[in-house]
Amino acid sequence: MPTYSLNTAISYLKGVGPNRGDLLKSELGIHTFGDLVNFFPNRYLDRTQFFKINQLQQNSSEVQIVGKITRVKTVQQKRGSRLVATFVDDTGSMELVWFRGAKWIKDSLKVNVPYVIFGKTNYFKGMFSMPHPEMELVSVYKKSLRGAMQPIYPSTEKLVNKGISNKVISTIIQNLFEELKGNFKETLSSRIIEKLQLISKTQALLNIHFPTNQELLTKAQFRLKFEELFFIQLQLIRKKLVRKSKIKGFVFEKVGEKFNSFYSDKLPFDLTNAQKRVLKEIRKDVGSNAQMNRLLQGDVGSGKTIVGLLAMLLAIDNGFQAALMAPTEILATQHYNSIVEMLDGLEVSVKLLTGSTKAKERRILHAELESGELDILIGTHALIEDKVKFENLGIAIIDEQHRFGVEQRSKMWQKNTLPPHILVMTATPIPRTLAMSLYGDLDISVIDELPPGRKAIKTAHRFDSQRLSMFQFLKKEIDKGRQVYIVYPLINESEAMDYKDLMDGFESISRDFPKPNYQISIVHGKMKPADKEHEMQRFLKAETQIMVATTVIEVGVNIPNASVMVIESAERFGLSQLHQLRGRVGRGADQSYCILMTDYKLSADAKTRMETMVRTSDGFEIAEVDLKLRGPGNLMGTQQSGVLNLKIADIVKDSHLLKSARSFAINLLANDPTLSLDENLNIKIAYTEISKNSTIWQNIS
């Protein structure tokens, strides 16, 4: 007798074989016995109730009946034939009908033997019928593991076409439990099991696949969801602890002259309490012996750049260099200009490196960087080219990190013998639950208040029929000396259509805002970079009052005089994009406005997005709504969606469990960082197995 384990290849399981095995691998990612055990149903049919034939109603719901077949006949029809069986119980009779597979079904049916049948009923000419019923002999039904709650598993069209039905999946899972004798190793410690009153691993797996009642199913789901989230958190927190103990960082011991003179003489405004708190967290990190790996979240305009600049000055005061990497040339240039302006009068050398930097300038820049003359280098991903070598890079700041791939970020590490401190900044608020799952190995700081003097932006939702009154409002704002953005969607698949929308809009705006009273700039993706830059500069210098653009300005120029953001076809934007666009205005002391223009026909999701934008300007609240609407995979974009390939837990619906799992993981590692205590042996074995099979954790942050 062969011995089977969770690592045995799926094709060796009774009822599978090589062909089915290949299908299960390609369609569902099931390679081993262990994969099948952890392939969970996504819903259940309640089969606790049995009906009598005289109780059936004409509503074609799914029913379950016990009875016998008394007669089987083949009925010829225009195309082929159908098989019809008369099925009776002690209250009446009905028909069972098969349109496919009549020959082998006919051979397998037993007459005058009790069956349990299950399926949807039809009613025609006073007679009930059930097409293609699920059938099981009562004698088999009584022995079966499958109980009253019937599991429905995820499937694909290809599996169904190849005859791998839900019943087949359920049967092979039953075979699996019989092969493994229904015994599964415990993966949690008795302390956690007692504290949370969890059922055992074996009971949980049995009741997730073959629940006998709703109460046991709920207990099984709770146990397996907790366990899945617990091991994710354990990996993330352990990774963070290992990094802090093993990856040494540069120590910035002193707060020196450049930091102090900038702080006391050059700060454009007093820091908010949130900025001070974040600065303290950064100083604690860079003053310890470990490498900093911190995510700084804050809404557009909350003052992340000032905090980043102060962190760079700390590095310079301690004899190190600093780098700031931004995703676009426009944003890198904006950072460069504002930092140069703020540092005016201080002896700090700052240079800009982008794709447009001339070869001659590059040569000078590379030499100054390697000799240590250059203190701060700001740029796009040109910074991570192999040619760019620092003398001693102490801190790397990455702005809008979700726009950089994992490899690009890790290249920043390879610029030194010791990795520099890393500060990742984002204006895209990440909901707490998602941050705990995706960035659980980073330390997270949040700037959750705006600088003093900033007025909240007023947001309104208007329909296309209200366009003329919207134009009147724009004219009043322009008369006050303000400037206006009008943004059109850009969705790559329909670029030609979007371009037409933009040009039609531009023409209609030009008619309503004629020259010479009004000047209009236009910016879109089909323009040459130099032309784009020229139009941006005209708007920046207030030579034009209206900027008509696609979303290229989403992460872009800071124009304090722009007080109105009009978003056309706002229903075509996601919430985070709408929030980013709104953040382009409200940067001066004047009252600013955001107007969301839509068609009357809106989907339920689009209505929710508009209502959310009008109701709140809190980026974290908006991100939570976005997470509920779009789910975690879509929110993070393709490069991150694989990270949360959860089998049973849902980080939106199970956020309370996620917090509990995280706190259990933190406490466990605080008391036993290497998982070497006897009481944690189960956890250690399971953790080692999961880490061995899991490649995704190398990709996070």
Q: What pLDDT does 686 receive?
A: 92
On the question of pLDDT at 88 being above 90, the answer is yes
pLDDT of residue 105 exceeding 80: yes
pLDDT tens digits for range 586-632? 877 789 999 999 989 999 999 999 999 999 988 878 888 888 887 66
Question: Helices 619-635 & 604-615, crossing angle to 10 degrees?
Answer: 150
CATH 3.40.50 fits 186-320+397-402+419-454+649-701, yes or no: yes
How far apart CA 448 and CA 278 sit, in angstroms, is 10
Per-residue pLDDT tens digits for 428-464:
777 777 777 767 777 888 888 877 777 889 999 999 8
CATH 2.40.50.140-classified regions of the chain: 48-146
The least confident of 258-267, 536-545, 635-644 is 635-644
DSSP for 72-89 reads EEEEE-SSSEEEEEEEEE
Query: Residues 6 or more apart from 153 whose CB is under 8 A from it?
Result: 39, 40, 41, 42, 166, 169, 170
pLDDT of residue 131: 92
Whether pLDDT at 413 is above 70: no
How far apart CA 657 and CA 226 sit, in angstroms, is 6
207-231: per-residue pLDDT in tens?
Answer: 999 988 888 999 999 999 999 999 9
Q: Is the pLDDT of residue 327 over 60?
A: yes
pLDDT digits (tens, 9 = 90+) for 177-186: 988 887 789 9
State mean pLDDT over 663-689: 93
Which ranges in the chain are annotated with CATH 1.10.150? 1-47+147-183
- Enumerate residues 6+ apart whose C-beta is below 8 A from 103: none
Residue range 105-130: mean pLDDT, rounded: 90
Do 223 and 289 form a contact (C-beta atoms < 8 A)? no
Q: What pLDDT, in 10s, does the model give residues 28-65?
A: 999 999 999 999 998 888 777 889 999 888 776 788 99
Nearest to 329 by CA among 157, 530, 134: 530
Mean pLDDT of the region 199-206: 94
Mention the CATH class of domain 458-616. Answer: alpha beta
CATH of 48-146, one of 3.30.365.10, 3.40.50.300, 3.30.70.20, 2.40.50.140: 2.40.50.140
Distance CA 108, CA 60 (A): 26
Over 60: is that where the pLDDT of 514 sits? yes
**Number of neighbours of residue 547 by Cβ within 10 angstroms:** 25
Domain 1-47+147-183 fold: DNA polymerase; domain 1 (1.10.150)
Please tell me the pTM assigned to this model.
0.68
Sequence letter at residue 32: T
Q: Report the share of the chain in percent with pLDDT over 90.
A: 45
**Whether residue 698 has pLDDT greater than 90:** no
Is the per-residue pLDDT at 639 higher than 50? no
Q: What does the pLDDT read at residue 637?
A: 44
